[in-house]
Amino acid sequence: MEIKDKPKAENLIAGHLSKLDNGESGNPLSDCFPSETLYAITDRLPWSADMVNYIVTKTFPINLSRAQKEKIRAQSKYYVWDEPYL
């Protein structure tokens, strides 16, 4: 392999890159951003989790209301659990 080097005047890319600030001027990088916002993500089960649990075990989660339990019971007749698919 043979490497051919062009002078800086002929090699525009190398000339441009040599003029860029490479961040070593003594200014440390800042870790804070002026419009930084923290968003909370809550873990939530997929919509089918309660349905699958009811079809397989015939039990409801403890934290459901009576209306939610009735809704799961009514909708479960339209689904079949064919492991691992609903």
The two structure tokens encoding residue 43: 């873990």
How big is the CA angle at 66 (ends 64 and 70), to the nearest 5 degrees?
A: 100
Burial of 54 (0-12, 13-18, 19+ CB in 10 A): buried
The two structure tokens encoding residue 18: 């040599």
Which pLDDT does position 66 carry in this prediction? 93
In the chain, the amino acid numbered 10 is E
The ranges of the chain with pLDDT < 70 are 8-9, 15-16, 18, 20-38, 40
pTM of the model: 0.46
Which pLDDT does position 67 carry in this prediction? 94
Is the backbone of residue 3 left (phi > 0), alpha (psi -120 to 50) or beta? beta
